[in-house]
Structure 1
Amino acid sequence: MSFKDFEKALDSLNIVTRITQSELKNQYQKLSKKYHPDMPDGSEEKFREINEAYKIVHTYMKDFRFQLNEEEFNQQNPFSKISPDWYKTFNN
């Protein structure tokens, strides 16, 4: 898989930002229902394109290697550095 194939797959699935695996699955299901050949707006070609795009992105996400360190954790969980008492600032 090349990066161009990956970009095309993201475009086919209308993905423009970070996405979780469950969000990817939901997006895929929504688009596959819309473009299924048996639906009014269906298109066999578009349906095939969406299936192939999902396989590419899903494989990438499944095989992606994370660095298991604090920096990576904080990037994936931006609110992890918030103090447990953050809500008290709103009551003052």
Structure 2
Amino acid sequence: AAKASPSGDALVKLGEDQIGQGKAKDAIDLIQQGIAKGQGDMNNAQIRLGQAYLAAGQKDQAVHAFAKVKGKPNDEMIAKLWTLYAKK
């Protein structure tokens, strides 16, 4: 059902659920598909992608995803905090 949705929001949500289940690589694939399909909240999608990369141990990719968060001060702050966490 998530893949049939016109936007990628459901795929990002499904990817977020996969992170919680310890399936980081599946989460990365789903979230990337959701981003490619189009998002209502691209910043949230990039933050979730960064979290999935962190869960997979891919810190550089996580930092790159967090760096794409732009435009909303609260979202940017969340991304900066995750970036600090990724770099520790």
Q: TM-score range by the shorter chain?
A: 0.3 to 0.5
More helix by share: 2
| Larger-Rg structure | 1
- Alignment TM-score, normalising by the size of structure 1: 0.36
